Amino acid sequence: MNYSEIVNKLTNDFIFCSYDKEFHHIGYGNIDFLISGKNFILSEYLKADYYTIPNTNKTFHHNDIVSNLKLNGGVTQMDYKDALGQDKKIILQMELHPGEHNFDAMYDNYFVELFKDKSVLDGLKSGKVHLFLYFGFEADSFSSNEFYTIGRFKNYYEMLDSVIDDYNLPKNSIIILSSNQLGDEQDDIYYRNKNKKLGTIFDNTYEPLTFTFTKGSINLDYSFDEHISNLKKSTKRFLRVNRTQDYARDIMLYYLINSDLIDSFIVEQNKFFDDTNLKEFLNLGYKYSSEMNLDFGNFIKYDIDKIQNVKNNLPYIASNYEKSNSISKDRIYSNEVIPHDIYYNSILSWVSSSLPFRNSQVFINSSTFNPMLYYHPLIYHANPRTIEKLKDCGFKSFDFLYNEEPIDTEKDYIKRLLLSIKEVDKLLQMDKSELISILEDNQSTLEYNRNLLFECNSIKRILTKVYQLTDG
């Protein structure tokens, strides 16, 4: 069955609902954690309007799919209680939130409570209902647990399998979508000698957000030639932006300021850690830089006066669209997109992915996809194997600019960061015209990645897997 037929089957044979209730857990420190609530991601994928890019007359994804969804009206979506009276299967969409890693709490305060609704439990048992859980916010490993070590369950798999077994639910009655690109491998290992009943999907859930989650103007007619023209006029080389804080990103900023390279960068950062962990990481980086024969160790050596200097210069605001706005040094902006105007005047992006210290995941998010829309090569500080997994999704690498393999294979978090600094430093020493010339020589690669992004094949893979798990 081809993709178009699968989309038609999903829109014709299923009703998509959510559950109008939130499930919470009061955890340590009397903090209220949201475990689950409403979600409509699959319903959105099956609506033509989803693919219209805001403030433009353009669409993304496959044109034939978008046209067919317009023609047939797309998904049937209704209130869950009303759907129970229909003769179609129901996909009940909810989300499972990472961050609260007490698996006992997830089991007791979400699944036990949800299944008190007899219609949900009976629907799952009969095959009329499939519970679809969106877990795309992060990319936690389901087979290991790096955080919460007490309780009945050792990991997500163990907890979810117990839910299925304890309630005698059929295979694939629960389906979970995660952003972890290592998930399929971990899935195969965990269930090698087990009877798998859980439905799992692992893919790039952030890829569509390149087009649906924007701020300010967005120029999708932006051509490669226009980009090159902008670069020739620009005084900036590279882009280093983030709205979520972590120690690696703080070390990147610390290095740029201390090495006097920051004027070559467009930078976005409003917060900076000043604690014993940062001191430990900086000292470790200084030690490793000597062992690795890197000559920039002094720029990342811990110095209290230099720390204060970094803090005095905050916040850095990258977007011209936002420079007139008041950006607080105290507020967290992690869920706010940076306007796309930041990409027009820099040659490449120095990217730090979310939670790069975790070797049990590969999380490819907007920090990767957004710059590729504007012809940016990427230098990564990310989880090991990020570049490998990006290529597995069909994207071409940036090895025409630097040697990606050492960064992508290094297991140590700090050493991997040092290797990315090494490449940044090397490229900054190149003549600007030479860098631009390299981009021009590799125009086909940069345009290919951009065009592939417009196809957004993650949606195709996700919907295909949903159909296989619910009907195939």
CB count in 10 Å sphere of residue 444:
10
The span from the CA of 433 to the CA of 115, in Å, is 63
Residue 273 has pLDDT above 80, yes or no: yes
- Per-residue tokens: 148: 């919460």
The span from the CA of 227 to the CA of 204, in Å, is 27
Residue 145 has pLDDT above 90, yes or no: no
**Confidence at residue 120, expressed as pLDDT on a 0 to 100 scale:** 98
Whose tokens are 């990310």? That residue is 382
Q: Which residues contact 109 (CB under 8 A, 6 or more apart)?
A: 23, 24, 25, 35
- Which of left, alpha, beta for 133 (phi over 0: left; psi -120 to 50: alpha)? beta
The span from the CA of 362 to the CA of 355, in Å, is 9
The span from the CA of 47 to the CA of 73, in Å, is 8
The span from the CA of 45 to the CA of 174, in Å, is 19
Q: What are the pLDDT digits (tens) for 370-381?
A: 999 999 999 999
Q: Which backbone phi and psi does 74 adopt, to 5 degrees?
A: 75, -150
Residue 236 has pLDDT above 70, yes or no: yes
pLDDT bin (cut points 50, 70, 90) of residue 150 is: confident
**% of the chain exceeding 70 in pLDDT:** 98
Could you say which DSSP state residue 467 is in? Answer: H
Q: What are the pLDDT digits (tens) for 23-56?
A: 999 877 788 889 999 999 999 999 999 999 988 8
Strands of the sheet containing 378-381, edge to edge, are: 265-268, 238-241, 348-352, 378-381
Higher pLDDT pick, 56 / 467: 467
pLDDT bin (cut points 50, 70, 90) of residue 352 is: very high
Instruction: Check: CB of residue 348 under 8 Å from CB of residue 426.
Output: no
Cα dist from 328 to 59, 249, 253, 270, 325, whole Å: 35, 18, 17, 7, 10
Q: What are the pLDDT digits (tens) for 419-456?
A: 999 999 999 999 999 999 999 999 999 999 999 999 99
Q: In this structure, are strands 238-241 and 199-202 parallel, antiparallel, or unpaired?
A: unpaired
Mean pLDDT, the chain, as a whole number? Answer: 93
- Which domains does the chain carry? 3-208+456-470 (no CATH), 210-455 (3.40.50)
DSSP track, 187-256: HHHHTTTS----EEEE--TTTTHHHHS--S---TT--HHHHHHHHHH-S--EEEE-SS--HHHHHHHHHH
Instruction: Check: CB of residue 351 under 8 Å from CB of residue 390.
Output: no
Instruction: Check: CB of residue 19 under 8 Å from CB of residue 114.
Output: yes
Residue 369 has pLDDT above 70, yes or no: yes
Residue 472 has pLDDT above 60, yes or no: no
pLDDT bin (cut points 50, 70, 90) of residue 102 is: confident
**Confidence at residue 101, expressed as pLDDT on a 0 to 100 scale:** 60
What does the pLDDT average to over 282-297? Answer: 95
Angle formed at CA 38 by CA 37 and CA 42, multiple of 5 degrees? 130
Q: Is 279 exposed, middle or buried (0-12, 13-18, 19+ CB in 10 A)?
A: middle
**Confidence at residue 149, expressed as pLDDT on a 0 to 100 scale:** 66
Instruction: Check: CB of residue 211 under 8 Å from CB of residue 53.
Output: yes
Q: Of 282, 330, 277, whose CA–CA distance to 306 is shortest?
A: 282
Residue 334 has pLDDT above 80, yes or no: no
**Confidence at residue 112, expressed as pLDDT on a 0 to 100 scale:** 98
**Confidence at residue 99, expressed as pLDDT on a 0 to 100 scale:** 65
CB count in 10 Å sphere of residue 461:
15
Whose tokens are 């009703």? That residue is 15
What does the pLDDT average to over 250-262? Answer: 95
Instruction: Check: CB of residue 23 under 8 Å from CB of residue 37.
Output: yes
Q: Of 237, 78, 91, whose CA–CA distance to 176 is shortest?
A: 91
- Give the chain's radius of gyration (CA, Å): 23
pLDDT bin (cut points 50, 70, 90) of residue 148 is: low
Please report the sign of the dihedral spanned by the C-alpha atoms of residue 308, residue 313, residue 317, residue 318.
negative
**Confidence at residue 240, expressed as pLDDT on a 0 to 100 scale:** 96
